[in-house]
């Protein structure tokens, strides 16, 4: 594995000097002279208070410290304050306007002045009128006029918080709170650029509490802290030591990329007490620094109330399954929404919905993962940890540096132009021929590509992952993830599996066969030591099912299980599942047409318990072939 190094010498000194210069620039004072003093326009002419072109509300004043963003359909105006924060202007009193313009209140008074009366001192001397306050209504008229000229603004869709984003030119944008950062890589360069938060490509970035800022110098693979972190990760006892630490390292990269990614894979580590789950989280938190939010025993509401419009990552420890609790299910559902990105709306006490933009990468740990649906499992890498042998146990004290996160961020920014066109595409090309579905490729391919971005291919080769041999790589990853992918049944398949596991009650001689056992007997037929359709039908009718003998529907169609859309016993079978109250019928229609037949017209009418029902027909031979193919 490539040896971890530290950036030293001239480049490190340049980075430190650039940090110091930036901090000095940040503390520059904003001029805000007395409102009674005339100010000069762009042509050098003196302009007195309230006499700028377009005053008081025909146009926005020049060099106004407040920018109007737009208004929503209710007429509420949104502005960026003098200090760069987003303000929702629902009232226009003195306190609201002071909060909008501070620390440029003199400028606000200069632009929309309210005057004192001239004061007569003596017969010979009269003091002229002076600016003494703000004409609130004129401020309101001006800003509302400007809002009406602009496109309607939706803060829930157009406002972006801190974290990683991608603009319309496919550039990576990092919002650190005080600045937007990007890297100019044109012509092989790597020049860090910054700007104040503003409107960019139709999205509003506003000033927020500061978080991590990128390292000022470019970071190579060999001097990256990711090498040290990767070495630490390999000391845990992973079920797949050649793959699992790579996926965790990849999650670090995904955590930084955040909202820029097409998909944000979830990582869930499990294992008994003493395997080091909490220490693992400590290692990752130390690497990411202030950009990550870590919590224990949280709720989905607690997460989205803290995240708001940010795309910064979340880590949740001890997300245990608890009887009678839906807390952990709601958290996992939130991670599922964040996988491809979505807006979550919640009603408030004032009957107005608040919206949360889910664009975060999530990392979970627990002794036992809570029950999850297939749509949750396919969006995550489930990693199992074992307890270290006492003879090989070590005292884990992860190394931390306060610049690790900044250096990793800079690596992501420099490597972003290469991420999807080359790194991710290489893993797609490796995994697609192995018959992994697109969701699995998106999940594992994104994590692997992010890991290679941070440490390079050599380090991954050293742990046994053949990243330079595409065919071999695809085979290794496909074999390593086969079991968990087999557990993630399609919706229709899960529905049919539940049906097959249902017991047939009230059968004579004390036997209670399952629907699946009867279906298998029907598929084998009499010559295969199974049953004919009459024997199978006698049992299946007890659960409102029917059957059709092999060959009756035409050549090439095997014996079929007939499933109607209704039936009291069927309702009880699916009562406590997502397929309750007839939903099973819709779910089965999602199956391939050669497995669940539904275009045969009157041939789908089957007599069950003396009543003719229109049924979906499950070709048992076709279903058996489908299952065998999945196991090969």
Contact call for residues 190 and 181 (beta carbons, < 8 A):
no
Q: Select from 2.160.20.10, 3.40.50.2300, 3.30.420.310, 3.40.50.300 the CATH code of 225-485.
A: 3.40.50.300
Residue span(s) of the chain under CATH 3.40.50.300 come to 225-485
Q: Tell me, what's the pLDDT at 343?
A: 75
Q: Name the percent of the chain lying above pLDDT 90.
A: 64
Among 206, 246, 565, 262, CA closest to 383: 246
Length of the chain: 632
Strand order in the sheet with 199-200: 159-160, 203-205, 199-200
**pLDDT exceeds cutoff 50 at 547:** yes
The whole-angstrom separation of Cα 456 and Cα 333 is 33
Q: Tell me, what's the pLDDT at 540?
A: 95
Of 158 and 304, more confident = 158
Contact call for residues 134 and 94 (beta carbons, < 8 A):
yes
Query: Tokens 């965790």 sit at which residue?
Result: 248
> In this structure, what are the phi and psi dihedrals at residue 20, rounded to the nearest 5 degrees?
-65, -40
Q: How confident is the model at residue 316 (pLDDT cuts 50, 70, 90)?
A: very high
The string of pLDDT tens digits covering residues 461-483 is 999 999 888 888 888 888 888 77
Dihedral angle sign, alpha carbons of residues 447, 450, 455, 459: positive
Residues 418-437: what's their mean pLDDT? 90
Which of 142-151, 164-173, 294-303, 408-417 has the least mean pLDDT?
294-303
Residues 199-222: what's their mean pLDDT? 92
Q: Tell me, what's the pLDDT at 2?
A: 46
The whole-angstrom separation of Cα 608 and Cα 617 is 13
This prediction has a pTM of 0.79
Contact call for residues 432 and 250 (beta carbons, < 8 A):
no
Q: Tell me, what's the pLDDT at 9?
A: 46
């Amino acid at each position: 594995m490539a040896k971890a190094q530290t950036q030293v010498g001239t480049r490190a000194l340049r980075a430190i000097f650039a940090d110091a210069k930036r901090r000095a620039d940040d503390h520059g004072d904003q001029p805000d002279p007395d409102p009674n003093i005339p100010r000069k326009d762009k042509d050098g002419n003196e302009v007195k208070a309230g006499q700028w072109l377009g005053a008081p509300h025909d146009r926005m004043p020049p060099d106004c410290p407040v920018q109007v963003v737009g208004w929503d359909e209710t007429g509420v105006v949104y502005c960026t304050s003098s200090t760069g924060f987003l303000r929702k202007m629902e009232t226009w009193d003195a306190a609201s306007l002071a909060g909008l313009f501070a620390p440029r209140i003199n400028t606000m008074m200069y632009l929309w002045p309210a005057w004192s009366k001239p004061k007569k001192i003596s017969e010979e001397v009269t003091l002229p009128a002076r600016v003494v306050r703000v004409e609130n209504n004129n401020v309101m008229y001006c800003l509302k006029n400007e809002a009406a000229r602009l496109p309607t603004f939706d803060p829930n869709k157009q406002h972006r918080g801190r974290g990683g984003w991608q603009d319309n030119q496919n550039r990576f944008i990092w919002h650190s709170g005080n600045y937007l950062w990007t890297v100019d890589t044109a012509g092989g360069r790597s020049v860090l650029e910054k700007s104040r938060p503003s409107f960019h490509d139709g999205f509003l970035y506003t000033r927020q509490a500061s978080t991590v800022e990128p390292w000022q110098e470019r970071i190579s693979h060999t001097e990256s802290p990711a090498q040290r972190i990767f070495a630490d990760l390999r000391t845990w006892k992973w079920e797949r030591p050649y793959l699992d630490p790579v996926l965790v390292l990849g999650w670090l990269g995904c955590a930084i990329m955040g909202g820029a990614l097409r998909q944000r894979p979830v990582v869930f580590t499990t294992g008994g007490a003493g395997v080091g789950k909490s220490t693992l989280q400590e290692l990752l938190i130390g690497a990411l620094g202030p950009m990550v939010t870590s919590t224990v025993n949280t709720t989905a509401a607690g997460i989205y109330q803290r995240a708001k419009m940010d795309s910064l990552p979340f880590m949740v420890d001890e997300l245990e399954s608890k009887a009678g609790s839906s807390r952990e299910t709601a958290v996992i559902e939130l991670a599922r929404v964040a996988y491809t990105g979505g807006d979550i709306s919640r009603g408030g006490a004032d009957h107005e919905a608040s919206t949360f933009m889910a664009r975060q990468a999530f990392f979970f740990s627990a002794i036992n993962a809570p029950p999850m649906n297939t749509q949750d499992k396919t969006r995550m890498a489930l990693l199992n940890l074992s307890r270290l042998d006492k003879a090989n146990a070590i005292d884990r004290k992860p190394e931390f540096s306060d610049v690790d996160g900044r250096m990793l961020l800079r690596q992501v920014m420099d490597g972003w132009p290469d991420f999807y066109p080359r790194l991710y595409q290489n893993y797609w090309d490796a995994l697609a021929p192995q018959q992994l579905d697109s969701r699995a490729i998106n999940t594992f391919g994104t994590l692997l590509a992010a890991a290679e971005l941070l440490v390079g291919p050599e380090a991954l080769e050293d742990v046994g992952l053949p990243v330079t041999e595409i065919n071999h790589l695809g085979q290794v990853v496909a074999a390593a993830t086969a079991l968990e992918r087999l557990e993630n049944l399609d919706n229709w398949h899960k529905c049919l599996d539940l049906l097959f596991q249902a017991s047939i009650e009230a059968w004579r001689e004390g036997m209670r066969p399952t629907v699946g056992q009867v279906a298998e007997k029907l598929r084998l037929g009499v010559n295969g030591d199974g049953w004919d359709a009459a024997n199978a039908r006698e049992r299946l009718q007890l659960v409102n099912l029917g059957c059709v003998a092999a060959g009756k529907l035409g050549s090439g169609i095997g014996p079929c299980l007939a499933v109607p859309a209704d039936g009291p016993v069927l309702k009880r079978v699916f009562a406590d599942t997502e397929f309750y109250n007839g939903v099973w019928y819709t779910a089965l229609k999602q199956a391939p047409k050669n497995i669940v037949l539904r275009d045969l017209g009157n041939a789908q009418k089957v007599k069950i318990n003396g009543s003719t029902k229109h049924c979906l027909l499950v070709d048992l031979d076709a279903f058996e072939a489908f299952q065998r193919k999945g196991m090969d």
